């Protein structure tokens, strides 16, 4: 009997030692795994939406470029594909961040804005491919430059650190693309 008592006492001591090593948060403290990210403020949401619209512009313009020249100019298709990939790789993590932070999916831009669509539609009457291409790149360069400036301003105004980091990356990509498109526009204009 004395032997059984020692075994039970040892087992109880072991059980207390194991449960005592488990770190439990103090009462009233939520666990880290259960914490949701803080929702974006309305001003941060507006900044995210504005930059996402700019990314959609870049994405859609590069897609139009690829579509226009898919059978006639492989170099333009390659140019548009590079721009499209850069923006797509950036856009998707932004959508995930926004959704994780409570942005309603219907407020996340899924296409070009009405204003941008109307600007591009003005190019439709141009039938000459060279004139169309020059007008397209002029519009693309001008709006990309403006979008890059707006994205940089937006990145400076946000308070959420994770969103700020994302918007800074987006602004840098849009700025780089703006410079690339501007250089292509100047190249095409010189060939005129």
pLDDT at 9: 46
Domain range list for the chain: 39-191
Helices (H), 22-73: 42-69
The answer to whether the pTM exceeds 0.75 is: yes
pLDDT bin (cut points 50, 70, 90) of residue 30 is: low
Residues in the chain: 192
Q: Is 3.40.50.12780 the CATH number for 39-191?
A: no
**What gap in Å lies between CA 24 and CA 26, rounded to an integer?**
6
Residue of 67 and 30 predicted with greater confidence: 67
pLDDT bin (cut points 50, 70, 90) of residue 35 is: confident
């Amino acid at each position: 009997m004395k032997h059984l008592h020692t075994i039970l006492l040892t087992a109880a001591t072991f059980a207390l030692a194991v449960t005592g090593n488990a770190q439990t948060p103090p009462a009233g403290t939520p666990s880290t795994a259960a914490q949701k990210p803080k929702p974006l403020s309305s001003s941060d949401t507006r900044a995210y939406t504005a930059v996402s619209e700019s990314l959609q512009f870049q994405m859609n313009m590069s897609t139009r470029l690829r579509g226009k020249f898919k059978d006639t100019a492989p170099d333009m298709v390659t140019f548009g594909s590079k721009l499209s990939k850069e923006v797509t790789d950036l856009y998707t993590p932004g959508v995930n961040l926004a959704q994780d932070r409570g942005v309603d999916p219907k407020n996340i831009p899924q296409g070009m804005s009405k204003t941008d669509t109307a600007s591009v539609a003005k190019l439709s009457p141009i039938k000459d491919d060279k004139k169309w291409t020059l007008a397209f790149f002029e519009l693309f360069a001008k709006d990309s430059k403006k979008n890059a400036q707006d994205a940089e301003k937006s990145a400076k105004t946000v308070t959420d650190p994770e969103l700020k980091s994302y918007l800074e990356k987006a602004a840098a990509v849009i700025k780089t693309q703006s410079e690339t498109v501007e250089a292509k526009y100047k190249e095409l204009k010189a060939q005129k």
